[in-house]
Amino acid sequence: MPQTELQYKNPYQLLVAVILSAQCTDKRVNLTTPAFFKQFPTAKSLAKADFETVFLLIKSISYPNNKAKNLIGMANVLVNEFKNVVPDDVDLLQKMPGVGRKTANVIASVIYHKPTLAVDTHVFRVSARIGFTPNSKTPLETEKELMKLVPLEKVADFHHWIILHGRYVCTARAPKCNECGIHKYCQRNNVTDPRF
């Protein structure tokens, strides 16, 4: 069963990790979060944090200024508006600073097993390259097109399949087509109907 490579123990930790993972590798996030969670084990502790302390803990992550502000803001909304319970609704999740549609879809999918499909860089790139979403110009368009192709019961796992495929097989610079388990669906093989 495919799963996220981000390391977490509860919904709060996954939410922090996914916010940190924007434009950053999961490996870097996993190196950063142990010290972060030791300092801020709960949303309540993070909500009371000062910017400088959070910034210093995440300075090796891309965009640490914005992410530090967003993490503190997210924690305040989580504690004060959502009573310290990470919502399962994509629209509610997006009310928190630093939580866009991709992050909200990851949380809804991974924590609550909802059929939501997060479109990150790998999903966007690989889906277009393979031919699943050849005309999509935005992550939202890609999400909508993929939701037409993927059976509802497989949507939650599909995100992870494509991420792992893009990370280890269908890499950006040197795709390993000879090792690809889904090459029969690839546009390089002139497949016109890639439905599963």
Query: Which residues are part of the catalytic machinery?
Result: 102, 120
Instruction: Kindly give the residue spans of alpha helices, DSSP state H, lying in the chain.
Output: 11-21, 26-39, 43-47, 51-58, 64-80, 90-93, 101-110, 121-130, 139-149, 155-168
> Residues 88, 116: contact at Cβ < 8 Å?
no
- Nearest in space to 143 (alpha carbons), one of 125, 115, 126, 124: 124
Q: How far is Cα 17 from Cα 125, in angstroms, rounded to an integer? A: 22
**Nearest 10 degrees: CA dihedral of 37, 38, 42, 45?**
-120
